[in-house]
Amino acid sequence: MQDLFQGIPEIWVANLKMDIWRYGVFAVAAWLSLWIVLGRLLRHRKVRAETPPPRQLMLEFLFSIRSIAVFSTIGVGMVFLDRLGLYPLSVMAGAWGATWFVVSLLLMIVGQDAYIYWTHRAMHRLRLFRRFHVRHHRSNNPSPFTAYSFDLGEAVVMAGFVALWPLIVPTPWGVIPFFMMHQIFRNTLLHAGYELMPARADGRPAFDWFTTTVHHDLHHGMARWNFAPWFTWWDRWRGTEHPEYHARFAATVGRSAKAELMAPARYDVPG
Ligand SMILES: [Zn+2]
Ligand SMILES: [Zn+2]
């Protein structure tokens, strides 16, 4: 029993520091480089005409730190499960070599995309929305600090994936830091307020199976569309991609006339 609890407070603090560092570095780097240093240079790539007020950014930062405390607590829960021998697949997969390491990382990213798509759609059902997801949508016009600005319930749902996935898919523990880097990198970009995806000559995104800042910004502006975080395929298969997505992407990157201003937010139940 002693072993089960050994070093738990230190592990919680170490998790907290690591996640704050990751969030802080990416959010601050994106804000500083895109909004401050390169703001003028990239003004033709700005998604919205307006810029969110500093108070919004401050609140997003504070709520993100609270989410990170939830992530650290779930990380401690995983340590308990591991000490109880409930992650045999991860222990096994640690010896499966470099190819499986890469494949399991890709599988985990694709799996998380599906998990977020479906849990996100569920959270847009009106009752769940008020309890789980309203904080994230208080940022109608997001910023790089919106990445982890969640209600407590949403933070648990998000971190829950990291605890559940290695129970069912053999994922070496070494994959988790790379997985976390991917998710904070992409998450920050989705909320960055500037579209960085290169465009093809016809105005479409160069890599159209990846979501873009415009894609997720449309979700914040008009909540009934664009639920997937990393890839566009779920929204396309399920008919939830915003019908004007490509037109608005082309307008944002200067390949067509500026689209009309964003309609005000509507927190509808998806159709
Ligand atoms: Zn968002
Ligand atoms: Zn949402």
C-alpha 139 to ligand 2 mean position (Å): 10
Which residues, including other chains, have CB under 8 Å from residue 240's CB and lie 6 or more apart? 121, 224, 225, 226, 227, 234, 270, 271
Q: Indicate if the pLDDT at residue 183 is higher than 90.
A: yes
pLDDT class of 258 with cuts at 50, 70, 90? low
Per residue in 57-69, pLDDT (tens digit) is: 999 999 999 999 9
Helix (H, G, I), strand (E, B) or coil at 39: coil
C-alpha 267 to ligand 2 mean position (Å): 8
pLDDT on residue 271: 33
Q: Indicate if the pLDDT at residue 101 is higher than 70.
A: yes
**CA dihedral for 192, 27, 234, 227, sign (positive or negative):** negative
C-alpha 94 to ligand 2 mean position (Å): 35
pLDDT class of 264 with cuts at 50, 70, 90? very low
C-alpha 52 to ligand 2 mean position (Å): 18
Per residue in 134-163, pLDDT (tens digit) is: 999 999 999 999 999 999 999 999 999 999
pLDDT on residue 268: 44
Tell me if 228 sits within 8 A of 184, measured CB to CB. no
Helix (H, G, I), strand (E, B) or coil at 193: coil
Mean pLDDT, the chain, whole residue set:
92
pLDDT on residue 124: 96
pLDDT on residue 13: 96
For 149, 240, 265, the CA distances from 57, given in Å and listed in that order, are 10, 29, 19
pLDDT on residue 188: 95
Question: H/E element holding 3?
Answer: helix 2-5
Residue 98, token pair as written in the block: 């470099």
Say how far apart CA 230 and CA 210 lie, in whole Å.
Answer: 6
pLDDT class of 4 with cuts at 50, 70, 90? confident
Residue 41, token pair as written in the block: 């240079």
Please list the residues that pair with 46 across neighbouring strands. 194
Q: Which ranges in 49-142 belong to alpha helices (H)?
A: 54-83, 88-93, 97-123, 126-128, 134-138
Say how far apart CA 269 and CA 201 lie, in whole Å.
Answer: 35
Question: H/E element holding 84?
Answer: none
Q: Which ligand is nearest the CA of 147, by number? A: 1
Q: Indicate if the pLDDT at residue 2 is higher than 60.
A: no
Q: What is the mean predicted confidence (pLDDT) over 84-102?
A: 95
C-alpha 195 to ligand 2 mean position (Å): 19
